Amino acid sequence: MGGESQRDLFRVDGRRALVVGAGSGIGAAAAEGLAIYGATVVCADANGDAATATAETITSSGGAATALTLDLMDGDAVRAAGADGDAPDILVTTPAVNVRKRIVDYTDAELDTVVDLNIKAVFRLCQVVGRRMAEAGQGSMIGFSSIRSQTTEPGQGAYAATKAATIMLFKTLAVELGPSGVRANTIAPGVVETPLTAPIKADAAWYQAYADKTILRRWAQPDELTGAVIYLASDASSYVTGTTIFVDGGWTAADGRYTPTL
């Protein structure tokens, strides 16, 4: 492969990306990054104003983007959005919710809140978009899991279970849709400063404890996840499917309890 071709590996020019959760945090950063690398981006979010703001940020910088108000909890809206226009070449889905409670204290309603968005809604979205991608014979599906798919703490029971399930959902998508030319992978972030983690940031001791658990001794910013998104969306990862990339500052690599004298 020539140098020119290798330089273009990460480009996604002419591809249509649907980024769900593009109104803030990791989703907004992913939408902006994909646009920089040439994609036409549909910025979808339950908060229509936030989706519009991200799309305007992209277009004001010379990129191509439109906004879409899309509530993943509305199955009819998801099916309609998935059937609209050409099939996306790239799907990125980031929305998730957590209710921090011990398992024995969970109510059915709280469990439904977490499972309905983190798994059922994502399953439904992937079902609709995956079918369209398979019909088109190509596509890259990118889901967001978490370090909580591998390591947990009190109060993370339902969330951790859904994030582990997200990995298996995308592995199964890879198995089922791969013969039709569709790849499916997940990204597992560590601690990232987003609206979801704002309550932790507000507690200085909690925030610092999480920073200290990472090898890099700090939290990530949303745009530090963008490189993994671009990689999985582009031809640079053309032989990568059914896997998970951990972007966690070394959280899952280090024991973290004690640094012995050597």
The pLDDT value given to residue 82:
83
Contact 39, 88 (CB under 8 A): no
Question: What band does 4 get if pLDDT is binned at 50, 70 and 90?
Answer: low
- Mind telling me the catalytic residues? 159
pLDDT digits (tens, 9 = 90+) for 173-191: 999 999 999 999 999 999 9
Domain assignment of residue 115, yes or no: yes
Looking at this protein, which amino acid is placed at residue 37? Y
Q: Tell me if residue 119 falls in helix, strand or coil.
A: helix
pLDDT digits (tens, 9 = 90+) for 143-157: 999 999 999 999 999
Compute the distance between CA of residue 215 and CA of residue 208 in angstroms, rounded to an integer.
Answer: 13
The pLDDT value given to residue 2:
52
Q: Indicate the pTM of the whole model.
A: 0.95
Contact 13, 235 (CB under 8 A): no
The range of the structural domain enclosing residue 35 comes to: 13-193+223-247
Compute the distance between CA of residue 81 and CA of residue 197 in angstroms, rounded to an integer.
Answer: 29
Domain assignment of residue 70, yes or no: yes
Please count the structural domains in the chain: 1
Contact 57, 107 (CB under 8 A): no
CATH code (residue 114)? 3.40.50.720
**Mean pLDDT along residues 76-100:** 92
